[in-house]
Structure 1
């Protein structure tokens, strides 16, 4: 991720340009779940992963097993059934992940419509993370980046009001009805 600039300037009438050196190597990926339950504090569960260099045969993204392990960890941590609301990331549509979800009676999964990031509360988390954890920061090395990201995500875990705000920004509510079995 290229760090966003929070403040910049340019001469009047000229477009401000922020030059960033280097290219994205996609060395890190983060998967996250926002968890909501009426009457309890909201939670954020995340799993960062550092990838091997993709030029040497490593991956540039998370695998279906990484996405499989996240709801499993959430289920163990929350000790409750899960209702997953996923966007249309290609890994979320993987047949192996679909089979895994279908085999678990404690997971109910709903798919968001295509091109609807405004309905995904986790997108709000990424926005907050970019504005608070990466803004106007030059990272010295990949380890510095991952330390800052982990620290900011841990701070967000204790800010249930921010996590609630990400849900409120979507316009979704917790009072959805359960699908009826036929």
Structure 2
């Protein structure tokens, strides 16, 4: 029997249940939010990123979700510095050349800042003279810090990154720091 846990990971939380000994009690981990023995993250989400993280108690399901060969699409809301151009969006859709190679084509579109979005703690540093833009970006690979590197390569550094969907699983209206547990019938 497989179980899947959908967690809305807050900013500045590590995607692991324990931290390195030298940081003991200095940084938040999954253990600060989830008390479900036997669950492990199916994939990662950087400490400075927010949103949907999947955890499971089934090794096969974990491998199926996290394995890059399955090409699970991952959708993100991305706040970038500057007014993003149509050309930059078109390049994201074609693929972006990074130091470790060309990314696969992404689905990318400019969106308005979502009305449902929670406040980040701490807030993103605002600079009065520099506008920001929001994108919805869907990728099918998981290079290290890929979304941040893609937007930076286009000249638009990422200020805030929120994962909203992995495959068929969506963040929905799950509040920041909360999780919901799905059983085998719901997976």
TM class by smaller structure:
under 0.3
> Of the two, which has the highest radius of gyration?
1
Give the number of the structure whose residues are more often helix, by fraction: 1
Q: TM-score, normalised by structure 1?
A: 0.28
User: TM-score, with normalisation over the residues of structure 2?
Assistant: 0.27
